[in-house]
Amino acid sequence: QVTVIESGGGSVQPGGSLRLSCRASGRTDSTFFMAWFRQAPGKDREFVAYRDWSVRRTHYADSVKGRFTFSWDNAKNTVFLQMDRLEPEDTAVYFCAARLNRLVLSAIRSPENYDYWGQGTQVTVSS
């Protein structure tokens, strides 16, 4: 059984930083393709970042490009989302998502294309 667990949310003032962690487990015969999404109150779940291991490229939403960084620790099957220069508009529940097969670029931003989800972690940016 595949499990996805996030951690690292919290409260921070505008301009501050947080780092989220996510570990996917339950399969040793495949590599998980991982993504981050977020959902603010009253809004749809929104794509944040996706790592395509096949071409060694990370894709970011325009709203976070240059401020957020997707990184990983292969030995621990863990990915991270370093969030710098946080803004109040970044306030949301952040979710880690995973699937076992690579997605075409046009599909990475749709939540319905991911098979496994973490429980979410709250990020609040407020003064």
Per-residue pLDDT for the chain (127 aa), expressed as one digit of tens each? 889 999 999 999 999 999 999 998 887 777 788 999 999 999 999 999 999 888 889 999 999 999 999 998 877 778 999 999 999 999 999 999 999 888 888 899 999 999 999 999 999 999 9
Per-residue DSSP letter, 38: E
Tokens representing residue 43 in the block: 């809004």
The candidate with the shortest Cα–Cα distance to 92, out of 3, 5, 31, 20, is: 20
Beta bridge partners of 121: 94
Q: Count Cα atoms within 13 angstroms, Cβ side, for 17.
A: 9
